[in-house]
Amino acid sequence: MRKINYIAVHCTATAQSATVESIKRYWKEQLGWKSPGYHYIIDSKGEITQLLDCAEVSNGVRGHNSETINVCYIGGVDGENKPIDNRTRQQCGKLRFLIRKLKELHSNAIIQGHRDFPNVAKACPCFDAKEEYKDL
């Protein structure tokens, strides 16, 4: 197993109606990625989909992927593509559940948003993940 130093929280920066399949297609067809951007993704109904085994490296945070598990919720932008915390109640609950389980497995991992990594100029995940999950 990889040494996990971070649990990174992301948003897809898409409409909440985006599907897991459309996001995977974008990574492959538009970005040319062979691996997904996240290990887990949570849709607006709170359904968790595992996209990649945590032993594998995903494409979530450039320069930190080898030491990070990446979790994501679908959404994060408004109708004008501006950053917004638009997580549904179901997404909030499932994010907390999933992050708690990952933290139990990787007790020394730091939980933070994508935006909290050095040299990242994004609003992702559009809320303060460090503050929200500081109790975990």
Per-residue pLDDT at 28: 87
Name the pLDDT band for 31 (thresholds 50, 70, 90): confident
How far apart CA 106 and CA 125 sit, in angstroms, is: 21
Per-residue pLDDT at 1: 65
One-letter amino acid at 28 equals K
Q: Which token pair is 97? A: 């559940």
116, 20 in Cβ contact below 8 A? no
Strand, helix or coil for residue 76:
strand
Q: How far is CA 121 from CA 3, 65, 114, in A?
A: 26, 17, 9
Domain ranges of the chain: 6-131
Nearest C-alpha neighbor of 43 from the set 3, 12, 82, 80: 12
pLDDT > 90? residue 3: yes
**Residue 85: count of CB within 10 angstroms of its CB:** 15
Name the pLDDT band for 33 (thresholds 50, 70, 90): confident
What secondary structure letter does DSSP report for 114?
A: G
How far apart CA 28 and CA 36 sit, in angstroms, is: 8
Question: Which phi-psi region, left, alpha or beta, contains residue 36 (left: φ > 0; alpha: ψ -120 to 50)?
Answer: beta
Tell me the average pLDDT across 26-42.
89
pLDDT > 90? residue 97: yes
Q: What percent of the chain has pLDDT over 90?
A: 83
Mean pLDDT, the chain, whole residue set = 94
Secondary-structure class of domain 6-131 per CATH: alpha beta
How far apart CA 31 and CA 76 sit, in angstroms, is: 20
pLDDT > 80? residue 27: yes
Q: What percent of the chain has pLDDT over 70?
A: 99
Name the pLDDT band for 101 (thresholds 50, 70, 90): very high
